Structure 1
């Protein structure tokens, strides 16, 4: 298959995904796919599995934990250098 293949959109808005692409991306008849717009283009992609979603959420939670630890360390360093900041007084 070359980079592009022409497809005709049916009266109900349907197209057939080329077999080579279905095989490459693991899409079989009856599978759910996501259809979205990105950068002015229509993107069709396999729907992530529950395991893939769970792994993504685990990675994101770990990243947020690492950021929180980094900010806490930065805050401690700032306190060490600057000392306690006096309370704001109402004017």
Structure 2
């Protein structure tokens, strides 16, 4: 957990540190939720459908890339070692 201190302006405004915005994907114009938990105020970006969809797209793309890498490695191994005895497709 990292800690960052900021001053609250006269109008109640606080700047979220860039490091945290970058890590959490918070950009100008995004909405932030304020949640009161016991004696703390927690800020969190809401989970919206677009962000979820983008995350799933990235994960699917990475899965495709890994499958292609494994296929290439398997083909290369077969080329060097030959088919395993007793295996058929």
Alignment TM-score, normalising by the size of structure 2: 0.52
- Aligned 1:22-33 pairs, distance under 5 A: 22-33=21-32
Change (3 A) 1:24 1:51: same
Between the two proteins, the alignment pairs up a number of residues equal to 52
Which residue number corresponds to residue 47 of structure 1? 46
Instruction: Find the aligned partners of 1:45 and 1:24 in 2 and give their Cα distance.
Output: 12
What is the CA-CA distance between 1:48 and the residue it aligns to?
Answer: 1.1
Gaps of 5+ in 2: 53-89
| Partner SS, residue 23 of structure 1 | helix
Is residue 38 of structure 1 aligned with residue 42 of structure 2?
no
Report the CA distance shift for 1:7/1:39 in structure 2 as closer, same or farther (over 3 A): same
- SS of structure 2 residue aligned to 1:37: strand
Partner residue, 1:6: 5
Aligned residues: CA RMSD: 2.1
Aligned-partner SS, 2:42: strand
Structure ID, larger Rg: 1
4+ residue stretches of structure 1 with deviation over 6 A?
none
